[in-house]
Amino acid sequence: SQTIHQWPATLVQPVGSPLSLECTVEGTSNPNLYWYRQAAGRGLQLLFYSVGIGQISSEVPQNLSASRPQDRQFILSSKKLLLSDSGFYLCAHSTPYGYTFGSGTRLTVV
Amino acid sequence: EDQVTQSPEALRLQEGESSSLNCSYTVSGLRGLFWYRQDPGKGPEFLFTLYSAGEEKEKERLKATLTKKESFLHITAPKPEDSATYLCAVQPAGAGSYQLTFGKGTKLSVIP
């Protein structure tokens, strides 16, 4: 079965510090991978998606970047966090039957 | 631009009181409409995918239906453990249409 791992679960970071969130998928090869952000009172917003190693598409201009160094690894990064980067970050992969989400990372920038 | 509007934003039900959640959508060709359940602090959990108008799917106390403009999630005789936020999302048809557009969700509270 397919499993998606995401860590850490919670993170508190000061403004201006770097960020690295990691997501890995098991049980599938060449998955389509996604990073979503969920802010309070708003729907899930697609940030990046990737259809293969080294292939990243950005949906929203922002302070964040994404990379896919391996087939089943997707990383969300920032060089300098802003207060507005706070939120709930979710990694997901798509299957023919739907999307499977990770357990999420609650990021608080202070 | 694809849009998804969910109503109501919040719904309080007594245990056993059936109701429906609404998801209205605008999309340039629909590949699929998805329903998810999300518990606080957790990632969304997949419930259903609907592909064409008239389609219905059921799972325990939940039944999802689809028309050309909206989808309903019917909850029959809900229990407190059904309390969660229910999310609706659409995937447009067409090559390269990988992303889902989500609504803001309906927060359901079932009171014992």
Taking the domains of chain A in order of start, what are their residue ranges? Answer: 3-109
DSSP line for B27-81: -SSEEEEEEEEE-TTS--EEEEEE-STT-EEEETTEEEEE-SSEEEEEE-S--GG
Q: What is the pLDDT of residue B69?
A: 94
Q: What is the pLDDT of residue B95?
A: 58
Instruction: Return d(Cα B43, Cα A91) in angstroms, integer.
Output: 9
Instruction: Return d(Cα B102, Cα B95) in angstroms, integer.
Output: 20
Instruction: Return d(Cα B110, Cα B99) in angstroms, integer.
Output: 32
Instruction: Return d(Cα B5, Cα A98) in angstroms, integer.
Output: 20
Bigger pLDDT: A63 or A19? A19
Which among A67, A76, A71 has a CA at the least distance from the CA of A27?
Answer: A71
Residue range A3-109 forms a domain whose CATH class is: mainly beta
All residues of chain B having their beta carbon less than 8 Å from the beta carbon of residue A90 are: 43-44
Residue B87 parent element (H or E): strand B84-92
At residue B99, does pLDDT exceed 90? no
At residue B96, does pLDDT exceed 70? no
Q: What is the pLDDT of residue A40?
A: 79
Q: Which pair of structure tokens corresponds to residue A27?
A: 């049980």
Single-letter amino acid, residue A53: I
Structural domains counted in chain B = 1
The bridge status of strand B19-26 relative to strand A19-26 is unpaired
Residue of chain B with shortest Cα separation from A58: B99
Q: What is the pLDDT of residues B40-95, one digit of tens each?
A: 999 999 999 999 999 999 999 999 999 999 999 999 999 999 999 999 999 888 75
Q: What is the pLDDT of residue B97?
A: 59
- Give percent of chain A above pLDDT 70: 98
Identify the domain containing residue B46 by its residue range.
Answer: 3-111
All residues of chain B having their beta carbon less than 8 Å from the beta carbon of residue A34 are: 98-99
Mean predicted confidence (pLDDT) in A22-44: 89
At residue A44, does pLDDT exceed 70? yes
Interface probe for A, chosen from B25, B38, B39, B48 (most Cβ of A below 10 Å), is: B38
Q: What is the pLDDT of residue A43?
A: 83
Q: What is the pLDDT of residue B35?
A: 97
All residues of chain A having their beta carbon less than 8 Å from the beta carbon of residue B34 are: 98-99
The enclosing domain of B10 has a CATH number of 2.60.40.10
Do the Cβ atoms of B98 and A34 come within 8 Å?
Answer: yes
Mean predicted confidence (pLDDT) in A64-77: 95
Please enumerate residues of A whose Cβ is less than 8 A from a Cβ of B: 6, 32, 34, 41-44, 46, 49, 51, 59, 90, 92, 94, 97-104, 106
Instruction: Return d(Cα A12, Cα A26) in angstroms, integer.
Output: 27
Average pLDDT, chain A: 91
Which among B89, B69, B73 has a CA at the least distance from the CA of B26?
Answer: B69
Q: What is the pLDDT of residue A77?
A: 96
Q: What is the pLDDT of residue B55?
A: 96
The bridge status of strand A44-52 relative to strand A33-38 is antiparallel
Instruction: Return d(Cα B62, Cα B110) in angstroms, integer.
Output: 14
- Give percent of chain B above pLDDT 70: 96
pLDDT band at A2 (very low <50, low <70, confident <90, very high): confident
